[in-house]
Amino acid sequence: MENIYQMSGYTLHLIPTKKFKTITISLRLQSPLLKETTTIRTLLTFVLIAATKKYPSTKQLAAYLDENYGASLSTHVSTKGKSQIININTSFVNDKFLPTKENLLEKQLQLLNDLFYDPYIIQDAFDEVIVQLKKKELKEKLQANKDDKFSYSLDKLFEYMGRDQVLGIPSTGYENEIQDITASQLYQYLLKCIREDVKHVYVVGDFQENIVEIFQENLQFPQNQQNYLSSYTFESPRAEVLEVIEKQDITQSKLNLGYTIDCDFTSKNHYAFTVFNALFGGFSQSRLFQVVREQNSLCYYISSSYDAFNGVMLVNAGIEAQDYQKTLNLIEQQLSDLKNGHIQDEEIAIAKMMLKNALKKTNDEASSMIALAYNRDITGIHETNEEYIEKLMNVTLEEIVQVAQNVKLDTIYFLTGKEFHENY
- Interacting residue with another protein among 11, 58, 375, 406 (CB under 8 A): 58
Q: Does 361 bind another protein (CB under 8 A)?
A: yes
| Nearest to another protein of 147, 422 (CB atom) | 147
| Nearest to another protein of 38, 153 (CB atom) | 153
Strand pairing report for 3-7 and 242-247 = unpaired
Q: Does 365 bind another protein (CB under 8 A)?
A: yes
Binding mask 145-184 for another protein (x = CB under 8 A): -xxxx-----------------------------------
Which range binds another protein by CB under 8 A, 5-13, 16-24, 210-218, 232-240?
A: 16-24
What is the Cα–Cα distance from 81 to 235, expressed in whole angstroms? 13
| Nearest to another protein of 4, 129 (CB atom) | 129
What is the Cα–Cα distance from 93 to 98, expressed in whole angstroms? 8
* Total interface residues for another protein by CB under 8 A: 67
- Interacting residue with another protein among 3, 143, 226, 336 (CB under 8 A): 143
Which range binds another protein by CB under 8 A, 13-21, 163-171, 215-223, 330-338?
A: 13-21
| Nearest to another protein of 38, 91 (CB atom) | 91
- Interacting residue with another protein among 209, 240, 249, 398 (CB under 8 A): 249
Contacts of 287 (CB under 8 A, 6+ apart): 279, 280, 281, 334, 337, 338
Contacts of 194 (CB under 8 A, 6+ apart): 116, 221, 222
Which range binds another protein by CB under 8 A, 78-86, 115-123, 324-332, 356-364?
A: 356-364
Minimum separation from the CB atom of position 240 to another protein (A): 30
Q: Does 76 bind another protein (CB under 8 A)?
A: no
Which range binds another protein by CB under 8 A, 69-77, 182-190, 234-242, 402-410?
A: 69-77
Minimum separation from the CB atom of position 365 to another protein (A): 7
Burial class (CB in 10 A: 0-12, 13-18, 19+), 330: buried
Minimum separation from the CB atom of position 27 to another protein (A): 20
Binding mask 320-349 for another protein (x = CB under 8 A): x-------------------------x--x
What is the Cα–Cα distance from 312 to 410, expressed in whole angstroms? 10
By CB under 8 A, name the binding residues for another protein. Answer: 17-22, 57-60, 62-63, 65-71, 91-93, 97, 129, 133, 136-137, 140-141, 143-144, 146-149, 248-252, 283-285, 293-294, 297-301, 318-320, 346, 349-350, 353-354, 356-358, 360-361, 363-366
